[in-house]
Amino acid sequence: MRYSKKVLSNGLSIITVPRHDSQAVTVLIMVKAGSRYETQSTNGLSHFVEHMMFKGTPNRPTTLDISKDLDRVGAEYNAFTSKDHTGYYIKINKDKISLALDILSDMLQRSKLDAEEIEREKGVITEEINMYEDNPMLYIEDVLEETIFGSNDSLGRLIIGPRKNIRKFKRNEFVKYLSEYYTANRTVIVVSGPINKDINKKVANLFSELKRGKGQKTFKNRINRQSQTRTGIVTKKSEQVQLCLGFPSYSYQDQERYSQALLAVILGGNMSSRLFISIRERQGLAYYIKADMNLYEDSGIFYIQAGLDKARLKQAITGILIELALIKESGVSNEEVKNAREFLKGKNTLQLEDSGNIASFIGRQALLQNRIMSPNEIDQQLRKVNPIKISQVAEKLFTQQKANLVMIGPVKANPIYKKMIGRHI
């Protein structure tokens, strides 16, 4: 994958990824701003700011003015906020790239942040919170991270924030936030697709109003001091129990993350994984089960998630714990490692057929790792992993003291869950 990176004098990074086998081009702007940079009193502001970027500029006074310009050319556009970054993107016909760049530069540099619009949007975000809490499959991951990191840690708080914060935010807080975090040296712009050589000059001119900010805060690998099993229960009337069993894990600075990635595939990354075969196919205990990980600059989590019938909850928990114990005791085979590696390689190949996924793949690395690895380089790192390394990672991750079990559904706190974990791992 060929790309070029240019850092302007104000610190803005421009990355171009030329691909001439498509008619679509993606412009992605990623800012190193997210909920982990908030305090308890400002929690939710990063996500709220993302909403306000679409509420009008002097050039395009309303949301409709922005959306009409993009809808009339059939563009795909959206934004997202995570714990450590915020992104805005437009995917558009290559002939309309100037429109995409103009709109994004307008939004990020000249959004009005109208006080009346802020008040109106509070109702929208409150409904988004309601929708989110009504979807346990999505909400469970945040419950897990709050259990692992704690509500006093920014990684343990909800990206969307609490209702009480949303209700009190005022315009001056948005202005201050943008001046502090939406700065050139915290921003990466990726343009992926059939692009011309003058694209760097065009981007630099359009984003010239972005100022260099203060030095960026960096996070060093933290020591997790959890010393006993934790549980988190959200009692909710529903037909199904959503369950997450999670463990503190490696950050994206750790070399062990490659072993961890293969472990996640072997355990629950696809329909031939151990958990899928054991829990779903052989025992019929769940329709949905997976193993995955969230990586941050200084930490991470490894988790297993499933949707279960309450009547078979204990049986399913036992089955999951048995699979973890088996991996610790007996390890994995060379064939499993090879198959997991080929799965990830194939999955990455398919994902990187799309200009939007390419932009995200490149941009996230540039923003958060300060190093861009090609798919081949990642594959080379995965090839260094062997069954022994995966066993060592499993042994370190899956301990009784570091286990966190959270559930949402018609369940109540019960000491039996901690005992089950202690019995098996």
DSSP conformation class of 354: S
**Domain 4-206 and domain 230-424 have a common topology:** yes
pLDDT for 197:
86
Q: Are strands 76-81 and 86-93 parallel, antiparallel or unpaired?
A: antiparallel
Active site residues: 50
- Residue among 299, 264, 249, 261 at smallest CA distance from 84: 299
| Helical H segments across 169-312, by residue range | 171-181, 199-206, 257-268, 274-275
Per-residue pLDDT of the chain (425 residues; tens, 9 = 90+): 899 999 999 999 999 999 988 899 999 999 999 999 999 999 999 999 999 999 999 999 999 999 999 999 999 999 999 999 999 999 999 999 999 999 999 999 999 999 999 999 999 999 999 999 999 999 999 999 999 999 999 999 999 999 999 999 999 999 999 999 999 999 999 999 999 989 999 999 999 999 999 877 778 888 888 999 999 999 999 999 999 999 999 999 899 999 999 999 999 999 999 999 999 999 999 999 999 999 999 999 999 999 999 999 999 999 999 999 999 999 999 999 999 999 999 999 999 999 999 999 999 999 998 789 999 999 999 999 999 999 999 999 999 999 999 999 999 999 999 999 999 99
Boundaries of every domain in the chain? 4-206, 230-424
pLDDT for 1:
83
329's enclosing H/E stretch is helix 313-330
Rounded CA separation 102/207 (Å): 9
- Residue among 69, 95, 98, 99 at smallest CA distance from 194: 95
pLDDT for 220:
85
Supply 125's token pair: 């975000």
pLDDT for 87:
98
User: For residues 405 and 243, is the Cβ–Cβ distance under 8 A?
Assistant: yes
pLDDT for 233:
96
404's enclosing H/E stretch is strand 404-409
Q: How far is CA 269 from CA 340, 347, 360, in A?
A: 8, 11, 21
Q: Which fold has domain 230-424?
A: Cytochrome Bc1 Complex; Chain A, domain 1 (3.30.830)
- Residue among 105, 99, 88 at smallest CA distance from 29: 88
Please identify, in words, the CATH class of the domain defined by 4-206. Answer: alpha beta
Residue 187 burial (10 A CB sphere; 0-12, 13-18, 19+): buried
Rounded CA separation 44/125 (Å): 10
